[in-house]
Structure 1
Amino acid sequence: MLNRSVQFLLLLLIAGCCASCWPSESGYRYGANRIRLQTADDLHRFLTYHEKRYPLVSAHRGGPTLGYPENAIETFEYQTRHQPLIIECDVRMTADSVLVLMHDATVDRTTNGSGKVAEYTLEALKKLYLRDVEGNEMPYRVPTLDEALRWGKNKVIFTLDVKRDAPYAAVVAAIRRNSAAAYSIVITYNADQAATVHQLDPELMISASIGSETDLLRLNERNVPDNRLIAFIGTREADEAFYRLLHDHGIMCIMGTMGNLDKQATARGDQVYTEFVERGADVLSTDRPREAGKALDVYRNAYRLTSPFIK
């Protein structure tokens, strides 16, 4: 049998060949593009690291592109036509305490309105139109978190980036209200926040910023169990020993490629995404979900990686 290094060289050759013959953006489809999880235990199993784990793309802010705004259900639907996806989206609260999807504190950049999200009622916010990546006004409205969670069942996994004006308790309540624990991950940035979410609902999966062994120890000290964690390791690669540490704990790693690493893939070729996975990343959070997804599909096929949760 070929050893893993030779296998990977062949993989890169395959990826390079496929890159030149992939169908056009409008025509490319995967054989399976839905993540179907019925219970929180399904999510825990799916996101626990093992050697045959199924690497995934996370669409940063939902994967905005020309004609499709960030944090819009229509964009989520468009991106999931093409591959199985984690959808990273942002949660804020309106003046009348409704959770909505919006990255910025103001609506100025992403809608045809102006002013702070926190000063809008939901009714007023729903009168605005979203803008795409080039500033074009689209016929799409700001979605509520409830609307997104209802849409996402048996389609995607959400990672919910909870902004400062949105209480974790309200987000957890929305997940419960929509029976969405099977496909929701709450993003936290420190051990205290992770402990708060875990106390609110011990079944929920948590994305925790883990950049060192010390960060992992802090989470353990706050009684956040390893099997409820997925690690966000930052926007650059970790070293082999750190990947091994997290994987030995059963913890999968999200690496943010948005920014410099996406630019590296643009310059060197999209097979770079497979190299990130080969070296230890399990989920790639990217502003180029279509390109990263094609590369990971080649990788998964080369290693015959499958999951009963991908349909």
Structure 2
Amino acid sequence: MKTTSLFLLAFLLAYAGVAQPMNRFRDSQTVDAFFKYRADRKRPLILAHRGGPGSADTENSITTFDKTAKALPDVIIEMDVRLTRDSNYVLLHDPTLDRESDATGSVADKTLTELKAIKLKTLSGKLTDQPIPTFTDVLKWNRNRYMLALDVKPGTDPLLVMAEVEKYKAVHSVFVICYSMAEAQKVRDRYPSLWLAVGVNDMAGLERLEKSPLASGRLIALTPQKLQPVSFYERLHKLGILASVGTYGTGQLDEKPLSEATMGYRDLVKQGGDIITTDRPLEVSGLF
């Protein structure tokens, strides 16, 4: 345990304060290279779930995004995009404001002006002075420096969200998490060079994907938290599709002490996982 802690400290100190240049993700070739499947990949890509907040941080906030990105320059930052009553976009995981802010009620029932007056709470429930960020705020903050994973929540049209992305010339610094293959195909038809992520939950789902036009490329498979047979990941890799595995949630690796979970994270990658979607991105990255 002591050796692991010292290694993690050295890792964080080495990267502390590092920021990526503007327009790092400037074209489709850059994104394709970032996500290209490589059998010899030594380290998994790390996806920071809701931005990777600790207990004293707010989720889905620019403050947390900035903190995580400076510590892990190659991190993928995940965020939840929701539609307001007046057709604007803000970041919030839950459909209601109750858990994450000092307000109550549905996000969809509020105007952007009303939402801007609301303050976020930390994961531990402490009120902060941080406002709910708009999606536009995030695009302006990012300036194509980091890869953003857009979880466009049900009821919010991903094509309209992508129109906002286009407006800020940020198409090459995002990928869209889709809730069905049909939705993914709709987005792919409009944005053929855009990377997408879609759930592939079992061998039957994998077989359906293999017969779909989506299997032609630029796809990330959101695979079960329970590890699948090696052959499952091998079939994805044969198509050039990366496998993302979530380790967050009740009973999952992120909920266990790091000393107990270390081999679990490493087994995930050994089995065939390419991206780890985690609530503790800094600690997990330090294991590889």
State the TM-score, normalizing by the size of structure 1. 0.83
Distance in 1 between residues matched to 2:70 and 2:185, nearest whole Å? 35
**Residues 1:156 and 1:271: Cα distance change in structure 2 (over 3 Å):** farther
Q: What residue identity is the alignment partner of 1:170?
A: L
> Which residue is equivalent to 2:219?
229
Q: What residue identity is the alignment partner of 1:51?
A: A
Distance in 1 between residues matched to 2:9 and 2:80, nearest whole Å? 30
> Which residue is equivalent to 2:270?
278
Distance in 2 between residues matched to 1:27 and 1:243, nearest whole Å? 30
Instruction: Percent identity, please.
Output: 32
> Which residue is equivalent to 1:21?
6
Superposition deviation, residue 180 in structure 1:
1.5
> Which residue is equivalent to 2:181?
191
**Residues 1:25 and 1:133: Cα distance change in structure 2 (over 3 Å):** farther
Distance in 2 between residues matched to 1:271 and 1:218, nearest whole Å? 32
Superposition deviation, residue 26 in structure 1:
11
Unaligned runs of 5+ in 2: none
Deviations 1:263-288 (A, max 9, x none): 35635143532332122111100111
Q: Quick one: which of 46, 55, 63 aligns to 1:57?
A: 46
Corresponding residue SS for 2:127: coil
Superposition deviation, residue 155 in structure 1:
2.8
Superposition deviation, residue 238 in structure 1:
2.0
> Which residue is equivalent to 1:41?
29
Q: What residue identity is the alignment partner of 2:82?
A: R
Corresponding residue SS for 2:137: helix
**Residues 1:23 and 1:57: Cα distance change in structure 2 (over 3 Å):** closer
> Which residue is equivalent to 1:5?
none
Instruction: Give the paired residue count.
Output: 281
Q: Quick one: which of 65, 71, 87 aligns to 1:76?
A: 65
Contact residue 67 and residue 138 of structure 1 kept, 8 A: no
Distance in 2 between residues matched to 1:213 and 1:228, nearest whole Å? 20
Q: Quick one: which of 208, 218, 224 aligns to 2:198?
A: 208
**Residues 1:292 and 1:28: Cα distance change in structure 2 (over 3 Å):** same
Shifted more, 18-27 versus 182-191: the winner is 18-27
Distance in 2 between residues matched to 1:199 and 1:70, nearest whole Å? 32
Superposition deviation, residue 112 in structure 1:
0.6
Superposition deviation, residue 67 in structure 1:
3.2
**Residues 1:269 and 1:208: Cα distance change in structure 2 (over 3 Å):** closer
> Which residue is equivalent to 1:86?
76
Corresponding residue SS for 1:273: helix
Q: Quick one: which of 156, 161, 167 aligns to 1:177?
A: 167
Superposition deviation, residue 27 in structure 1:
5.8
**Residues 1:280 and 1:172: Cα distance change in structure 2 (over 3 Å):** same
Q: What residue identity is the alignment partner of 2:187?
A: V
Q: How is 1:91-106 mapped onto 2 (pairs within 5 angstroms)?
A: 91-106=81-96
> Which residue is equivalent to 1:158?
148
State the TM-score, normalizing by the size of structure 2. 0.89
Q: Quick one: which of 103, 111, 125 aligns to 2:115?
A: 125
Unaligned runs of 5+ in 1: 1-15, 297-311
Superposition deviation, residue 213 in structure 1:
4.5
Distance in 2 between residues matched to 1:204 and 1:59, nearest whole Å? 20
Contact residue 265 and residue 273 of structure 1 kept, 8 A: no
Corresponding residue SS for 1:43: helix
Distance in 2 between residues matched to 1:33 and 1:269, nearest whole Å? 29
Q: How is 1:284-303 mapped onto 2 (pairs within 5 angstroms)?
A: 284-296=276-288
Q: What residue identity is the alignment partner of 1:46?
A: F
**Residues 1:40 and 1:26: Cα distance change in structure 2 (over 3 Å):** closer
